[in-house]
């Protein structure tokens, strides 16, 4: 993999609406089932179907009456959007164990950029299988995941094999794996574009990849050149974590350290680094958190997540670090279980100037801490990022993140919209 490449996963929950609905009707799982617009009146369209229905020819977006002709024993269920959002949130929590940089693509798909943990394609495949197994075990859903060096090829990978599968598209195999596919499989090639391309004898992704740039530009304008790039895996677009102002669900950051964390002091410094980043982002958004979650993963990729709901919401980095350390000490024995990756997530937000009651004896201490945080922000804004840093971060023996240039990039958690 090129040093300029990213390591991207695209996760696509299989038959999501139908599978999520069947978690409430497990007795129906072995027969043909579809989620439809209005099952009682038998009009509307098929929104999703399970595998037995698909085998009998039922298709998404076809009229209910047509689906019933193909499959008279088809069971129709009403859509339950609250349930779908709930499952999206549960799956998102699993994704966040591996990265905070998550870009949703509809309610059931998402790109994950795990480049912060390394760019080895084999590591990406291993991570994808870990996610796939966790989703199945913890939610009952299945997910297909594409692993690649670009977003467009990762998306092709998740579509390549379904359900419950991982497909890796690398620099070494993409021509043999991807180029024979129909051109319509490529992201941004819709029916109309595929029809135009077929008129100049371009029917596969490989033929598009090798086509004349001049011909493509004449036929499709600048989009033709973009599609040629896509067919060759040239896609430098970044995975963009969604941060809707006060519609976001969480703000978090995780890091993989250069060396394993082997003692409480190592973990404390790492939590302080993460707490600084998360608290700074919260102050930018003028929110404080009512819940803190930690994520810990050891060097054999076994992980836990634990959370604490707070009586008094906070944006103070010291408090966030202290809460994280308390959770760590309660749920993890560092001896014999070194930590490779570590993360903090803040959630359950409220406005930063809230009116929550604070104990009289704690008020002065809390105000001093809050004022100190705002003072740090003002100094860093005036004189440059990281003008004020904790002395403990300057120690050469302190734990460091694998990619220092990304150390202070806070990745807010994605929010799957219904």
Residue indicated by tokens 């969604």: 242
Q: Are 288 and 281 in contact (CB under 8 A)?
A: no
Backbone φ, ψ for residue 362 (5° rounding):
-95, -15
Question: How far is it, in rounded angstroms, from Cα 214 to Cα 97?
Answer: 45
Distance CA(280)–CA(326), nearest Å, equals 21
Q: What is the pTM of this model?
A: 0.62
Query: How does strand 250-261 pair with strand 411-412?
Result: antiparallel
Q: For residue 240, is it left (φ>0), alpha (ψ between -120 and 50) or beta? A: beta
Q: How far apart are CA 370 and CA 145, in angstroms?
A: 43
Tokens coding 414: 């994605």
Which residues in 325-355 are b (16+ Cβ under 10 Å) and which e?
bebbeeebebeeebbbbbbbbbbbbeebeee
pLDDT tens-place values along the chain, 418 residues long:
554 679 999 999 999 999 999 999 999 989 999 998 766 655 578 888 999 999 999 998 888 989 999 999 999 998 888 898 889 889 988 998 898 888 888 789 999 999 988 778 999 999 999 999 999 999 999 999 999 999 999 999 999 999 999 999 999 999 999 999 999 999 889 888 999 999 999 999 999 999 999 999 999 998 899 999 999 999 888 887 654 434 456 788 888 777 889 999 899 999 998 998 899 888 888 888 889 999 898 877 777 889 999 888 899 999 999 999 999 999 998 888 999 889 999 988 887 754 344 443 444 566 677 777 777 777 766 666 665 566 555 555 555 544 433 333 333 332 222 2
Q: Which domains does the chain have, with CATH numbers?
A: 8-15+82-175 (3.30.70.270), 25-79 (3.40.1170.60), 179-231 (1.10.150.20), 250-412 (3.30.1490.100)
Long-range contacts (CB closer than 8 Å, 24 or more residues apart) made by 389-398? 390/272, 390/276, 392/269, 392/272, 393/269, 393/272, 393/273, 398/269
- Let me know if 109 is a catalytic residue: yes
In degrees to the nearest 10, what's the CA dihedral of 20, 187, 415, 62?
A: -40
Report the alpha-carbon distance of residue 386 to residue 378 in Å, rounded: 11
Catalytic-labelled residue, pool 109, 116, 319, 373: 109
């Amino acid at each position: 993999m090129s040093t300029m490449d990213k390591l991207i996963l695209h996760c696509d929950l299989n038959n999501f609406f139908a599978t999520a609905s069947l978690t409430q009707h497990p007795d129906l799982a072995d027969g043909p089932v579809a989620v439809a617009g209005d099952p009682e009146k038998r009009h509307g369209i098929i929104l999703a179907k399970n595998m037995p229905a698909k085998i009998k020819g039922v298709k998404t977006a076809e009229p209910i009456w047509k689906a019933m002709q193909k499959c008279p024993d088809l069971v129709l269920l009403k859509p339950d959007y609250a349930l779908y959002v709930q499952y999206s949130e549960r799956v998102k929590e699993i994704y966040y164990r591996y990265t905070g940089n998550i870009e949703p693509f509809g309610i059931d798909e998402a790109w994950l950029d795990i480049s912060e943990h390394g760019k080895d394609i084999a590591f990406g495949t291993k991570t994808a299988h870990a996610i796939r197994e966790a989703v199945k075990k913890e939610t009952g859903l299945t997910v297909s995941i594409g692993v690649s060096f670009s977003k467009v090829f990762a998306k092709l990978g998740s579509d390549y094999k379904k359900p419950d599968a991982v497909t890796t598209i690398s620099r070494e195999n993409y021509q043999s794996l991807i180029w024979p596919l129909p051109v319509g499989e490529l992201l941004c090639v819709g029916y109309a574009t595929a029809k135009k391309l077929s008129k100049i004898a371009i029917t596969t992704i490989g033929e598009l990849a090798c086509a004349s740039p001049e011909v493509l530009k004449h036929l499709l304008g600048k989009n033709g050149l973009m599609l040629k790039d896509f067919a060759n895996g040239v896609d430098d677009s970044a995975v963009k974590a969604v941060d809707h102002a006060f519609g976001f669900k969480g703000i978090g950051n995780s890091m993989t350290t250069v060396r394993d964390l082997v003692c409480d002091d190592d973990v404390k410094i790492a939590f302080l680094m993460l707490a600084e980043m998360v608290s700074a982002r919260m102050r930018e958004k003028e929110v404080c958190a009512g819940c803190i979650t930690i994520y810990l993963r050891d060097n054999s990729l076994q992980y836990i997540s634990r959370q604490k709901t707070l009586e008094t919401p906070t944006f103070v980095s010291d408090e966030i670090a202290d809460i994280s350390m308390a959770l760590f000490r309660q749920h993890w024995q560092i001896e014999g279980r070194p930590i490779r990756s570590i993360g903090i997530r803040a959630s359950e937000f409220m406005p930063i100037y809230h009116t929550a009651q604070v104990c009289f004896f704690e008020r002065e201490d809390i105000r001093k801490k809050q004022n100190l945080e705002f003072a740090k922000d003002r100094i860093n804004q005036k004189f440059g990022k990281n003008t004020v840093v904790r002395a403990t971060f300057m120690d050469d023996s302190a734990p460091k993140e694998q990619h220092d240039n990304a150390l202070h990039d806070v990745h807010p958690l994605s929010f799957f919209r219904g």
